[in-house]
Amino acid sequence: MMKTIALNFNKLQWQLFCNLVKIVVEITPVEDFELESTTIMELYHRQLHNLTFYKPNKKGLMKISLQLSEAYAINLFWAHRSDEYNVFIRPQLEPQLPSPKG
């Protein structure tokens, strides 16, 4: 079974997340980030309907499940490139990533 993490975004976080993913899709593959950008592109194609429409639950949050490889790819790609990612998305995503062993 593939390990996943779940994120619950408000509308602003959701819009930022979608925009960041779509930016990567438009420029894939990205030099020195070929694996990460290709993984993000595959996430987009796998969950195209979720990245196109914001359908909040009763609490006003949108839930998305990411495979660990997708979560790592997003974090590695955007952590040093986007202040918006670091402020609005990284604090929710990064704590759910397992620590590297060793």
Name the helix (H) or strand (E) containing 12. Answer: helix 11-27
Q: For the whole model, what pTM was predicted?
A: 0.90
Q: Is the pLDDT of residue 100 over 60?
A: yes
Closest to 76 measured CA to CA, from 86, 62, 87: 86
pLDDT band at 102 (very low <50, low <70, confident <90, very high): very low
pLDDT, tens digit (0-9, with 9 covering 90-100), for 13-62? 999 999 999 999 999 999 999 999 999 999 999 988 888 877 788 899 99
What are the angstrom distances between the C-alpha of 3 and each of 55, 60, 98?
24, 26, 11
Domain ranges of the chain: 4-96
* 97 contacts: CB under 8 Å, gap ≥ 6: 5, 68, 71, 72, 75
Instruction: Tell me how far apart the alpha carbons of residues 54 and 86 are, in angstroms, rounded to a whole number.
Output: 21
Residue with the bigger pLDDT between 100 and 17: it is 17
